[in-house]
Amino acid sequence: MSTASANDFEAALSKETAQFTFRSDSSLIGWGGSDLAVGLFYNEDSDFIAQAGLLQVRQASEQNPLTFGVGVKGYLGQLDDPDQDIFAFGIGGQVRYTIAGTTPMVAYVEAYYAPEITSFADAEQVIDYSIGFQIEALPQTVAFIGLRHLEFEVDGGDYDADDDNIHLGIRLTF
């Protein structure tokens, strides 16, 4: 269920938010071996946030179903109300537990943090985490359910762009 050898497109929707992400091997930018992700998040409050990240992940195996990954993620966007510009770089990672079987399943936690020193424009910090469960529904198709929290500390206080919303999604590999 790795994207290291293929491209994939992911759509994650909740009642208030949508996130669309394209993933590929980082060799697209001349540096192979990591997962490269580029995405767009928006919500019902007309907030738009572009995201790009690199994540280095060890592959799961039968002997090691628990895997870890570390990476960086950038955020660039506009919050509508309050009218704030977001520009930040965060570090973070991922923990995954793969349940092997005829139908592979994965439980995961992913988190990124951008402190004040790497947050610019109106952003003072970014906290972005998700927890979820995914299952390979068909060959090259993964379905998932999860909980996401995306919070920006801006000049006017804390702003939750995605406040613990349950999202459903699919990932299509090609």
* pLDDT the model gives residue 1: 44
Neighbours of 155 (CB within 10 A): 10
What's the whole-model pTM score? 0.91
Q: Which contacts of 130-136 are long-range, i.e. CB under 8 A and separated by 24 or more positions?
A: 132/107, 132/108, 133/105, 133/106, 133/107, 133/108, 134/1, 134/105, 134/106, 134/108, 134/171, 135/103, 135/104, 135/105, 135/106, 136/1, 136/103, 136/104, 136/105
Q: What is the pLDDT of residues 21-62, one digit of tens each?
A: 999 987 777 667 789 999 999 999 999 999 999 999 888 787
Q: What is the pLDDT of residues 60-84, one digit of tens each?
A: 787 889 999 999 999 999 999 889 9
Domains of the chain: 8-173 (2.40.160)
